[in-house]
Amino acid sequence: MASTWSPRRRWKYDVFLSFRGEDTRETFICHLYHALTAKGIITFIDDESLERGSTIGPSLFTAIQDSSIALVVLSKNFASSSWCLDELSKIIQCKVERRQIVIPIFYKVSPSDVRYQNGSFQLRTVEVREHEEVYGDKDQLKVWSDALRRVSHLSGYDSRKYG
């Protein structure tokens, strides 16, 4: 008699998409999400109905933890969002603690700008200063800076090299 046993799925999602919506949602992310799901890849993408605020919601933290792979799309305005930086910090934590695979996609930005936090990746923006003032968390800047540096050192894709 043949066994119908199958291994229990370890992850709820195959892929978690992390991105700055205003930069990429209606263009690159839309196409990427549809291509992944068309191949049967279970992909988490945030939803417009999720409650927005200054800090990342628990449901997104759970989705990050429940994903085998995180695709981080780093675009021009990514670092101006404390939400995106919180997501990235959690993803880097999951890479270390849960052996999550993290693949950066540098979307029309230089990996070296992310690594050295130049240009739009400087963390001394108005939004970051406002976050520090509202939440009184001066150490958060170090966490975000470290997460940007770590993701920039991972093997990924630079969209400027592709058509």
Contact (Cβ atoms closer than 8 angstroms) between residue 70 and residue 18: yes
Degrees, nearest 5: CA angle 41-44-49:
145
* pTM listed for this prediction: 0.83
**Would 20 be classed as within a structural domain?**
yes
pLDDT at 61 exceeding the cut of 70: yes
Cα(92)–Cα(99) distance, integer angstroms: 10
% of the chain exceeding 90 in pLDDT: 60
Domain that residue 113 falls in: 13-156
Q: How confident is the model at residue 21 (pLDDT cuts 50, 70, 90)?
A: confident
In a domain, 5, yes or no: no
Q: Is 26 a catalytic residue?
A: no
The structural domain count of the chain equals 1
**Count H helices, E strands: the chain?**
7, 5
Structure tokens at 162: 């592709």
Look at residue 23 and tell me whether its pLDDT is greater than 80: yes
Q: Tens digits of per-residue pLDDT, 28-58?
A: 999 999 999 999 999 999 864 455 554 567 8
Q: What is the spatial distance between Cα 158 and Cα 100, in angstroms, rounded to a whole number?
A: 21
CATH no. for residue 127? 3.40.50.10140
Cβ within 8 Å of residue 162, ≥6 positions away: none
User: 23 in a domain, yes or no?
Assistant: yes
Q: What is the pLDDT of residue 123?
A: 82
In a domain, 1, yes or no: no
Judge contact between 16 and 71, C-beta under 8 A: yes
Q: Is residue 103 part of a domain?
A: yes
In a domain, 151, yes or no: yes
Contact 44, 13 (CB under 8 A): yes
Query: Is 123 a domain residue?
Result: yes
- Sequence-ordered strand ranges (E) for the chain: 13-18, 43-44, 67-74, 101-106, 157-158
Could you give the C-alpha distances from 110 to 41, 44, 102, in angstroms and in order?
28, 26, 18
Q: Does 2 fall in a domain?
A: no
Burial of 29 by CB count in 10 Å (0-12 exposed, 13-18 middle, 19+ buried)?
A: buried
Spot the catalytic one: 22, 48, 87, 132: 87
Residue 10 has pLDDT above 90, yes or no: no
Q: Give pLDDT, residue 6.
A: 38
Q: Is the predicted pLDDT of residue 5 greater than 70, yes or no? A: no
